[in-house]
Structure 1
Amino acid sequence: MSWLPIVVLAAITFVVAAFLLRVGRGGWTILGATLLFGLAGYALQGSPGQPAAPGEAMQEEPIDGELLVEARREFFDTSQFPSRWIVTGDSYLRRGDFERASGFYRNAVEENPQDTEAWLGLGIALVEHADGQLTPAALHAFEKAQALEEENGGPRYFLGFAWLRAGEAERTFELWREALLAAPEDAPWRESLALRLMRLESMMRPADAAE
């Protein structure tokens, strides 16, 4: 076992906190110091050369459902309320009940197959229900949302975030770059997405240099 997976895991943890959980710039120093402290402790007491125990998988910390709802709503007109099915699904998403949330989002797309936000909500809920894994059903939901509203950056953003959690930062970069290129000039989320793309690019550079 090499150090690379451990360093990549630390980088992904930082990206999750900085991009989706939106830890403020003032908190980056503390977050970075915490991660470095953990790596230093592992260097002193850990055994990176020893094989992992069989049958043990690393568990990812659950993501706050409230933050997922807020992040999704950034890509839509907040002056207009979503459908009743989405509102109910959001209430379950906030509680972390992703299975029930996905059921209500399915009701939303069945009632109105042209509802971009319903398809996006369904994709997000399905990914979380699968513990962060991008399932075929979730991928289909993201693709439907993107096909309905090409200029909306939400589907590419959350699809890219799913790939990022899987360690596919290059796919994430390409999706977020495509979302930015397709975004209307006056989109309220454009600046935020551009900033996240720049952060991701800067974090990818050390890994590219190492290769």
Structure 2
Amino acid sequence: MTGWVIAFGLAALAFVALLLIGRIPRSAREITAAALLLGLAGYAWQGHPGQAGAPRQVADDKGGKFDEKLAEQRRGLAERYGPAAQWLILSDGLARRGKTKEAANVLLSGLRDSPDDANLWLGMGNALIAHGDGVISPGAEFAYRRALAIDPAGPAPRYFYGLALARAGQLQAARDLWAPLAASAPAGSQVKAELEANIARIDAMLAAGNPATP
């Protein structure tokens, strides 16, 4: 409602100013009023006069909210101790504050010291996914593949690379990674149950031709 009041007020002020200051002739007054009304009609069509105003807040970083559950899953499947842990903890701390670019840069520093650490490459892939709002960039793809190459038998690279693929809509590629991992996971484990449930959803979506992610 406030938008309409302001719009009509400005239109009225403009018309009065044209009459008193612009001294438009009487013959042009109807045309001028019609032009102002046309402007109001355009505002009603393109604008949002009934919507309340609100200040915009600009975030420090374009990254999304830190996924605490995902970080805990990574720690459960991959690192707990060792040289990679300190870099990953520091990176997680920055990501929690929305500083996804800095979180990835920290892991890059760790990789300069330990270029063959699969956990750091895995963390880098996850950090780049977070920084890219879920998009699998070439850098994230490279990081996941390096983690897989260094630790081909490890569950963490296959799990998280598959998760990134599934969320990006690459369902068949995700299934190809997850199926052998689910088969080798300990019976009764939470990871096995989760993977089997995700694979079942993927199979259902592929059969239905649905591009949605699990």
* Common topology (TM > 0.5): yes
The alignment partner of 1:71 has SS state of: helix
Equivalent residue number for residue 116 of structure 1: 118
Equivalent residue number for residue 196 of structure 1: 194
Given that 2:135 and 2:168 are in contact with CA atoms closer than 8 Å, whether structure 1 keeps it comes out as yes
Displacement, 1:206? Answer: 3.7
Equivalent residue number for residue 180 of structure 2: 178
Alpha-carbon distance change, 158 to 63 in structure 1, aligned in 2, over 3 angstroms: farther
* Match status 1:74 vs 2:76: yes
Given that 1:69 and 1:93 are in contact with CA atoms closer than 8 Å, whether structure 2 keeps it comes out as no
Unaligned regions of 5+ residues in structure 1, if any? 1-60
The alignment partner of 1:113 has SS state of: coil
Equivalent residue number for residue 94 of structure 1: 96
Displacement, 1:142? Answer: 0.7
Please list, as runs of the form range in 1=range in 2, the aligned pairs for 1:109-188 lying within 5 A after superposition.
109-180=111-182
Higher RCO, 1 vs 2 (CA within 8 Å, ≥6 residues apart): 1
The residue identity in structure 2 corresponding to 1:167 is G
1:36-63 Cα offsets, whole Å, 9 max, x none, are xxxxxxxxxxxxxxxxxxxxxxxxx945
Give the structure-1-normalised TM-score: 0.60
Fraction of identical pairs, as percent: 28
The CA RMSD measured in Å over matched residues stands at: 2.6
Give the structure-2-normalised TM-score: 0.60
Equivalent residue number for residue 205 of structure 2: 207
Equivalent residue number for residue 84 of structure 1: 86
Output the CA distance in 2 between the equivalents of 1:69 and 1:191: 18
Output the CA distance in 1 between the equivalents of 2:131 and 2:167: 14
The residue identity in structure 2 corresponding to 1:145 is A
Given that 1:83 and 1:108 are in contact with CA atoms closer than 8 Å, whether structure 2 keeps it comes out as no
Unaligned regions of 5+ residues in structure 2, if any? 1-62, 210-214
The residue identity in structure 2 corresponding to 1:200 is N
1:190-211 Cα offsets, whole Å, 9 max, x none, are 9333212211233234434535
Q: Number of matched residues?
A: 147
Alpha-carbon distance change, 184 to 197 in structure 1, aligned in 2, over 3 angstroms: closer
- Tell which structure's C-alpha radius of gyration is larger: 2
Alpha-carbon distance change, 180 to 128 in structure 1, aligned in 2, over 3 angstroms: same
Alpha-carbon distance change, 80 to 199 in structure 1, aligned in 2, over 3 angstroms: same
The residue identity in structure 1 corresponding to 2:190 is S
Output the CA distance in 2 between the equivalents of 1:167 and 1:90: 25
